[in-house]
């Protein structure tokens, strides 16, 4: 087993909360799985596998075998003809969990509050079979360009795109389903080089938890009584994860629900650095690269009472 000294002991603070910590450190020195999501709006999985195999690509199954295919490391999905035809979307395996946890149905009304660049939005549209309405929001013009391009390429027809700061999203309409995949420090995407240097670095800023709480506050105001909100990040930091859920439990009449999916995960924390969290936060999911061969994630499913 190799040993690493990371920049400012980047992950050492998580030693006691990440199971099999040395295996975790070892895993993030190697590229994570190269996955594509089959776009069921245009093609079936078997036919796509056949097309890619005919090109000499070895396709492997995944934990989410009905939705995802793993292709060889080093293959750039964006250069394949099938990408431009909208037959698949390059997407991390774990990023599908928030979408699937929302449990959308045909003809639903859904708000994707921080939607760009559109991987989760298009997955929602696929699960809804292009029916109902998805409102895909983002505050950044350049990211909205990517969002629109992806939706068009993938044949998504049931989505309206809006540009608002999530914290100030208009309250005129309420929603029975909200996906809140917030901006975060992206620690789950970090890879570490042989010299201990971070090869991928996400957002840095002590103000992120405050922004996330503001987004959560607005989202729960927009959520209808009895409605479902799924909150997610791709980071390990409890201040961006469990602390935000604790805030929601304290400020709103909401409860956590179990995420009923078959996927490797650990339970949410009930304590961090001396702060106690509600016991129900165990229902949240922590997902780690050495368990899944994909990006680290945090997912929580909230239901508004009433």
- What's the CA gap between 171 and 95, in Å, rounded? 27
- What's the CA gap between 154 and 127, in Å, rounded? 13
**Residue 113 near residue 171, CB atoms below 8 Å:** no
Domain pair 7-29+94-304 / 33-91, same fold: no
Residue-by-residue DSSP string for 138-189: ES-HHHHHHHHHHHHHTT--SEEEEE--GGG--SSS-EEEEEEE-----GGG
CA-nearest of 164, 208, 210 to 187 is 208
- What's the CA gap between 151 and 146, in Å, rounded? 9
Model-wide pTM > 0.75: yes
**pLDDT tens by residue, the chain, 306 residues:** 344 334 446 899 999 999 999 999 999 999 999 999 999 999 999 999 999 999 899 999 999 999 999 999 999 999 999 999 999 999 999 999 999 999 999 999 999 999 999 999 999 999 999 999 999 999 999 999 999 999 999 999 999 999 999 999 999 999 999 999 999 999 999 987 766 666 655 555 578 999 999 999 999 999 999 999 999 999 999 999 999 999 999 999 999 999 999 999 999 999 999 999 999 999 999 999 999 999 999 999 999 997
Residue-by-residue DSSP string for 245-278: HHHHHHHSSEEE------S--EEPPSEETTEE--
Per residue in 88-105, pLDDT (tens digit) is 999 999 999 999 999 999
Q: Are strands 175-181 and 109-112 parallel, antiparallel or unpaired?
A: parallel
Helix (H, G, I), strand (E, B) or coil at 131: coil
Identify the H or E element spanning 300: strand 297-304
Q: Any idea where the domains of the chain sit in the sequence?
A: 7-29+94-304, 33-91
Class of domain 7-29+94-304: alpha beta
Q: Does 33-91 carry CATH code 3.40.640.10?
A: no
- Catalytic status, residue 59: no
Q: Which of 59, 114, 184, 234 is catalytic?
A: 234
């Amino acid at each position: 087993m190799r040993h690493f000294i990371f920049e400012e002991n980047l992950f050492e603070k998580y030693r006691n909360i990440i199971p099999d910590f040395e295996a975790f450190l070892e895993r993030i020195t190697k590229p994570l799985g190269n996955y594509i999501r089959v776009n069921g709006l245009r093609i079936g999985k078997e036919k796509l596998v056949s097309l890619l195999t005919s090109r000499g690509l070895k396709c492997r199954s995944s934990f989410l075998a009905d939705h995802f295919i793993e292709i060889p490391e080093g293959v750039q999905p964006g250069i394949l003809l099938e990408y431009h035809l909208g037959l698949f979307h390059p997407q991390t395996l774990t990023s599908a969990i928030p979408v699937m946890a929302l449990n959308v149905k045909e003809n639903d009304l859904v708000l994707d509050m921080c939607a760009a660049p559109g991987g989760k939005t298009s997955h929602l549209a696929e699960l809804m079979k292009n029916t109902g309405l998805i409102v895909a929001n983002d505050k950044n013009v350049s990211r909205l360009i990517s969002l629109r391009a992806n939706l068009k390429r993938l044949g998504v027809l049931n989505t309206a795109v809006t540009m608002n700061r999530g914290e100030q999203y208009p309250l005129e309409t309420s929603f029975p389903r909200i996906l809140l995949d917030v901006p975060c420090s992206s620690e789950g995407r970090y890879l570490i080089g042989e010299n201990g240097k971070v090869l991928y670095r996400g957002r840095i800023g002590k103000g992120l938890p405050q922004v996330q709480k503001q987004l959560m506050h607005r989202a729960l105001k927009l959520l209808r009584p009895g409605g479902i909100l799924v909150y997610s990040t791709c980071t390990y930091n409890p201040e961006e994860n469990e602390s935000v859920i604790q805030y929601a439990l304290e400020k709103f009449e909401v409860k956590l629900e179990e995420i009923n999916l078959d996927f490797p995960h650990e339970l949410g924390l009930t304590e961090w650095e001396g702060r106690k969290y509600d016991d129900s936060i165990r229902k949240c999911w922590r997902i780690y690269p050495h368990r899944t061969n994909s990006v680290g994630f945090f997912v929580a499913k909230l239901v508004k009472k009433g």
